[in-house]
Amino acid sequence: MGYNLKAMRFLKGMTQKELAEKSGVNIRIIQHYEQGTKNINHAWVETVLKLADALECDIRQIIE
């Protein structure tokens, strides 16, 4: 879980910190999604939209 998010972040050449700053999503939440300790499919829609906007991608590219 969170592999799509991590892959998209890598494709964009961003660190977790940069993604957190650009999206306004707490870095710890991003870490939890990427490590699979939290399921991004159960995230608030607003959170997923912020991440997708920051990554300039469709939300379907980061959800599992």
* pLDDT (mean) for 17-24: 98
**pLDDT over 70 (residue 2):** no
* pLDDT (mean) for 6-26: 97
Q: What is the pLDDT of residue 1?
A: 60
Radius of gyration from C-alpha coordinates of the chain: 10
Distances (CA, A) of 3 to 12, 35: 14, 8
pLDDT tens for each residue of 28-64: 999 999 999 999 999 999 999 999 999 999 999 999 7
Predicted TM-score (pTM) of the model is 0.92
